[in-house]
Structure 1
Amino acid sequence: MDGLRVVPTRRHGRERLYVCGADGRNVAWYDRGTGRVALLGEDRRQDVLQALAPFLTGPVTVGPPPVPTPAELARLSLHPDDDLAPNRPGEALLIALDRDPAPAHRLRPDPRRRALAAEQTVGEALDRLEDAGWRTLHSLSLPGGDRVHHLVIGPGGLFAVHALPARRQRVRVADPEVTVGRGGPRPLLRRMRADADRASYALTAEVRPLLVVTEPARLEVGPRPRGVRVLTDADLPGLARLGGILKPAEVEALYATARDRHTWGRV
C-alpha cells in the first residue's frame, strides 16, 4: 500500500474517492453512489482495496471503469473553451459585475446583484437534483443578447428556467405579464416562451419554459399560463418526482449536445 493516498471529492452532492499513487496519478476511484470501485490496473487491486477499506460502506463492485457511453465520448472530445458545463449559476452576471462594478457611491443596491442571488439560489437547487437523474447547465447565452438562466434535463423532460428575484415582495402572474411588488407589469412569459422555442430548435427536442420565483412574500397566479410552469424556489425539489418522458441515455445525449457552445450559435 506504499505511496497510496485517498482524496475525497464532492460535486453536486455526489461523492467520489480517488486513490492516488506517490506520483499523484489516479490508480482507482470509489463512487459511493453506485458502490463501484473502478481500477485503472489490476496489479494494484489489493493495495487499492486496503487503502479504501476505512471508507467502504456495504457491498461494492470492483472492476475496470465502465465503457464510455457515446455521450461521454462526445464530452471527452469537446474543447474546454466550448464546454458550457463548468458555467456557474449566474456566470454572465458574475462576469459583468467583475468587468463593470457599480459605483461605490450608488445609493440603491445594484439590481444585478439581486438577479445574481436569484440565479445562484435556483442553480444550486437544480444541481441538487443530479442524484435523481437530472442534469443542469447554467447561463446559456443565445445570439442577440438573450440568455437561458438554467437548462435542466431529466426524466421529466427539458426545461428552460428563468429565475426571478422577489425577496419579500408580492408577485402576480397574469399571462403574459409578471408584476413584482410595486413595479410595472412586464411581458416576461412571452420572452420565456421565445427562449424555450429557440432551445427546442437547437436541441431538436421539446423544451418547456419554467419560471422560478425566489423568496416571494406571496405568489399569485391567474389562469394557468399557456405552456409555462410557475414555481417558487422552495418547490424545486418536487421536480425530482417528474418522470416518464426521457430515459437516462436520452438525458445524457441531450446534455452532451447542450453543453457544446456551438449548439447555441445557430438559434
Structure 2
Amino acid sequence: MSGLRVVPAFRHGRERLYVCRPDGSNVAWYDRETGRVNLLAEDGRDDVLAALKPFLTGQVTVGPPPVPTPAELARLTLHPDDDLAPNRPGEALLVALDRDPGPAHRLRPDPRRRALAAEQTVGEALDRLEGAGWHTLHSVPLPGGDRIHHLLIGSGGLFAVHSLYARKTRVLVADPMVTLGRHEAEPVLRRLRADADRASYALTAEVHPVLALAGPAHLTVTAEPRRVRILQDPELDGLARLGGVLKPADVEALHAMARDRNTWARV
C-alpha cells in the first residue's frame, strides 16, 4: 500500500487524522485524544504507521475500531435539534435575553441577568466534574415552560440542580420556603422536588433534588429539608466524591437518554 496521505478533520468535537488512499478512501484514522490508531484493514498496518509517524505522540494503541456501545449508537443517531448536550449553562436565559434584552435605561438590574449569573456559576462548577466521569446537562426543558437548570449524572446517582442567585444576601430556608434578603419567601423547595420527581419519571431512575446557592453571604436553615441537599457553589465538587450507585455503563446509558429532548416530552 503506497501513496497514503494524512488529512486532519474534526468529528464529534474531536480532532482526527485520517489516512487516505490516492482515491480518497480511508484506511485508518488516528484519534489524538485517546491515543489510538484505528485500522480498517490489518494488512496495511505498517504503511499506515509510516504515514502517521510525524504526527504520533506518546504511547499509541493500534487496532481495529472499537465496537460502539448502545449509548454511543443512540448519540450518533440523535438529531442535532434534539440533542441537549451542547446547551450552555443558562441556555434558556441566554436565548431569552438575546430575543428581548429589555430597556437599556433600567433603574434596577434585570432579574434575568442575576438568574443567568447564578446558572453560569453553578453550571461551570458542575462542568468541572466531567473529568471525574460525571455528565451535566443544562436547561433541560419540561412541558409547560418549566425546566431543570442542571441535571448531573454520575456514579453517585442523578441530581436535579436548581441555581439561585444569592450573592451578598442572607438566605433563610424553612422548608418549603426560601427567603432571599428582604424579598418575599417562595416555595422553591416544593418546585424543586416536583421537578426531580418529573425527571425520575422520564428516566425511570431516582433523581435527587439539589438547591445550589451562588455566592450567599449567610445561610440559615431552620430544619433539615426533606430530600433536598442545599449546597453553596464552592461545595458542589463534593458531589463527585459520591459513588457506588451507578456503574459507568449505566451513567452513559442514562446520559444518552437524558440528552434526547424527546425523553422529556411527556412528563
Considering the TM-score relative to the shorter chain, is it more than 0.5? yes
Question: How has the CA–CA distance of structure 1 residues 225 and 19 changed in structure 2, closer, same or farther, with 3 Å as cutoff?
Answer: same
How far did 1:73 drift?
A: 0.5
Q: Which has the larger radius of gyration?
A: 2
1:29 to 24, 28, 31: 31
Distance 2:222 2:69 in 1: 45
Distance 1:117 1:2 in 2: 51
- The equivalent residue for 2:17 is 19
TM normalised by structure 1 equals: 0.87
Amino acid at match of 1:144: G
Partner of 1:168, secondary structure, is coil
Query: Cα deviations across residues 81-116 of structure 1 (Å, max 9, x unaligned)?
Result: 111111111111011001111101111111101111
Q: Does 1:48 align with 2:46?
A: no
Distance 1:263 1:104 in 2: 39
TM normalised by structure 2 equals: 0.87
- The equivalent residue for 2:148 is 148
- The equivalent residue for 2:38 is 39
- The equivalent residue for 1:205 is 205
Q: Is the 8 A contact 1:4 1:51 kept in 2?
A: no
- The equivalent residue for 1:182 is 182
Distance 1:176 1:262 in 2: 30
Structure 2: segments with no counterpart, 5+ residues: none
Structure 1: segments with no counterpart, 5+ residues: none
Partner of 2:186, secondary structure, is coil
Distance 1:105 1:172 in 2: 32
Q: Is the 8 A contact 1:6 1:52 kept in 2?
A: no
Question: How has the CA–CA distance of structure 1 residues 8 and 263 changed in structure 2, closer, same or farther, with 3 Å as cutoff?
Answer: closer
Q: Which moved more, 1:127-136 or 1:154-163?
A: 127-136
Q: Is the 8 A contact 1:39 1:45 kept in 2?
A: no
Partner of 2:183, secondary structure, is coil
Question: How has the CA–CA distance of structure 1 residues 97 and 40 changed in structure 2, closer, same or farther, with 3 Å as cutoff?
Answer: farther
Distance 1:103 1:213 in 2: 28
- The equivalent residue for 2:111 is 111
Please list every run of at least 4 consecutive aligned residues from structure 1 whose deviation after the TM superposition is greater than 3 angstroms. 1-9, 20-23, 40-43
Q: CA RMSD in A?
A: 2.4
How far did 1:5 drift?
A: 6.9
